[in-house]
Chains A and B, each alone.
Chain A
């Protein structure tokens, strides 16, 4: 009986790594099958709008940091042809432009000292509604995204984490193709 049990345990141990390898192979395969080509064929440009604090009393440094970090992180994704700042005159002439609107829904100001002393409390939390809109106001993508700092780093690190999450979400979302440019001869 003991021999059978040992053999059974050995069999399980032998099978387990193979199963895990298969699982990882499957997940990596799924990752590589993301439609990256779609991004290259028809790429939008994006204009990042000023962060709307909504009904939340947001520290102005946080609003500015979210805005600047969004510009950086969106440029890093390489999903967009160009990333424009709010009010940039060069963006007004583009037909394939999306506008990223960020509205803060929830903001919990944390404390770096409380994090250092207690570990479990003092987290800075940000919750925003991100919308990608066409200049005509049609919403192309809408997500609610969080950005927190729980253990290490200053409070403003939450803005960096938030911007990275927004950029990641947009990177992994499927956007419609931009409408083709209207030829001048048609006018």
Chain B
């Protein structure tokens, strides 16, 4: 009897299933179908934002805006954008601490970790001109699938959008 009462009230299998369902729900909630700002990493080239800064990229009226958690937002006019292109990036996750950990793992274990500790990202390259006509190239790193959505929004003809709004 004592042994029976010591059992866990929730079975581990159910816990796993519930965790899986919750994880899937969260993933769908964060899926690129959302219209909100996309969390991105600014790799380089957008205004005065430092390289590898994290923030949110969104389209506000007629501007593309990058907002960091702290500090003012940087924005460029959509009309100044010359070209938008997509790319793919396969990166090791964990940064320097993970790299050090991999190197310190004995018996070649770091290589095995390296085999699984990578993630695919999208890159969004935005070419735009400043007020003097100088060309800028900004590169952002986004979660897979999000770059296409932003590109679609950016390349959508503004004239058509305004026409629809008037009707």
- Residue numbers of A with Cβ under 8 A of B are 50, 59-61, 63-65, 67-69, 84-90, 111-113, 116-118, 152, 154-156
Contacts and interface: CB of A to CB of B under 8 A. Distances in A.
Given A61-B125, A65-B44, A116-B92, A85 B111 contact: no
A141 to B, nearest CB: 22
Contacts of A152: 99
A88 B115 CA distance: 45
Contacts of B135: 50, 67, 85-87
A112 B127 contact: no
A90 B133 CA distance: 9
B62 interface: no
B87 A60 contact: yes
A3 B134 CA distance: 75
B142 to A, nearest CB: 12
Chain A binding surface, main DSSP class: helix
Contact of A89 (B92, B132, B136): B132
Contacts of B125: 60-61, 63-64
Report the 7 A-B pairs with minimum CB-CB distance, sorted nearest first.
A64-B137, A85-B134, A116-B114, A60-B85, A88-B134, A86-B135, A61-B123
A156 B135 CA distance: 20
A60 to B, nearest CB: 4
B111 A88 contact: no
A88 B135 CA distance: 7
Interface string B2-39: 00000000000000000000000000000000000000
